[in-house]
A and B are shown apart, each in its own frame.
Chain A
């Protein structure tokens, strides 16, 4: 077992030596892989931030129930309170509603609407059970009440945002899969060129009794190292991107009075990216070497 690890360590050190001997093509390949991985990773981080940001805006599935104008609001509120699935109710009278509207829209003190108030009474209903299905069922029940003109679910925009985020996630997955495949092909091609340049070495190793596994080993290390370094390069690109965006996000925060901070990848996600890069590099090298070895077999 010790001899096995010693052999691997020797091959690994030789691979590092090969890297050092020809740094220019290696660095270019690493940068190419880094940029290839940075695109889907950057989009993924963007989606993560959007998702995090939207968490703070999410209502808890309350319903706005609009009453008939000029109706008996007090009785209507009592009826709504008795509907199964209703946890609490809060009545907003037309007068209060107009006041809140004027405050929120900055039209207070402008004498708009005069004595005429166009707003109906509104009951804000908190459902006993959260969740889109329960809220939708409750909304249907409330719509059936005689004094109710309109029921609006505050979850609608959240559902739309979730759907948009799901589309975004799927797009990132597809992009990552496509670029991952491209990365495997890039590394397979790079390894193929390296294998071709070492034809004499491979034939000598075969001649002295080297197995395919022995011949393959240094190329797999090269692939995994190149892929891993490419992933590290992608993390650096991402970090630089986040630093570049920090200023504009701070300005946006000041404008909205918010305190949002852009988040990057967690340590676990960063490690996963490194492992993914190394694995894709290993796979590309494995494909290229397997092909070359098959051609040399008798």
Chain B
């Protein structure tokens, strides 16, 4: 599902974020991408979502060679990935329903199908009945669940998450990570960037380690 080969990323001011990074993640696999702050975890995720392009190297995601993917094809590529952020990036002036429906609406879906899918996604994350409210009325954990529902509502084959439990306490973190594992059990490929070693130990999934932009190992 994901393959990175000799990937380098240098930012305009000369900061080398990644240097010769490479790993593969098979379809249906779940893995943690870990390392200290500044290791390059977020940069790897940005490259996989094509929010950034690599300076050098080859990245293949779900059969697409990202280096060759033209800019006009980006939106259609991104519809194959679900992304969850630490700060969840919800639109607070829209309802929970509208936030979750967004990936379906941008894909051109309307009417009953949107409603059915959004309610099903909210049901999965335990927020059925909260769809008419504002995200601001929800707790941090609930907001993160809305973010996860939004990432999965369009049923992408790949889910990536950048520090999804960074702002949550231990119990809520367990809930969120368990949700990811549940989706993985249903065949979704999951890659989670985190430095929460407790979660890594708890789930016994594959771990890809980064340090100062270099690969430290992929166990």
Contacts and interface: CB of A to CB of B under 8 A. Distances in A.
Interface residues of A, number: 20
Contact of A200 (B49, B78, B91): B91
A244 interface: no
Interface string B76-118: 1111000100000101000000000011011111110000000
B124 interface: no
A60 to B, nearest CB: 65
Contacts of B110: 3, 6-7, 10
B103 A209 contact: yes
A7 B78 CA distance: 20
Nearest to B153: A208
Of the four ranges (under 10, 10 to 19, 20 to 34, 35 or more), the interface on chain B belongs to 20 to 34
Interface in A168-225: 200-201, 203-212, 214
**Which of B52, B77, B107, B109: most chain A Cβ within 10 A?**
B107
A207 B71 CA distance: 13
Query: Which of A6, A203, A204, A210 is packed against the most chain B CB atoms within 10 Å?
Result: A204
A258 interface: no
Contacts, number: 58
A208 B52 contact: no
Contacts of A205: 102, 106
Contacts of B49: 207
Contact of A209 (B71, B75, B89, B111): B75
A211 B75 CA distance: 6
B119 interface: no
Contact of A298 (B71, B89, B107, B150): B71
A287 B79 CA distance: 27
B79 A208 contact: yes
Contact of B106 (A3, A4, A211): A211
16 contacts: A3-B108, A3-B109, A4-B108, A7-B105, A200-B89, A204-B91, A206-B78, A207-B49, A207-B78, A207-B83, A207-B89, A209-B107, A211-B75, A211-B106, A298-B50, A298-B71
Given A206-B78, A212-B75, 13 more contacts: A3-B110, A6-B111, A7-B105, A10-B110, A200-B91, A204-B89, A205-B102, A209-B78, A210-B75, A214-B75, A298-B50, A298-B53, A298-B71
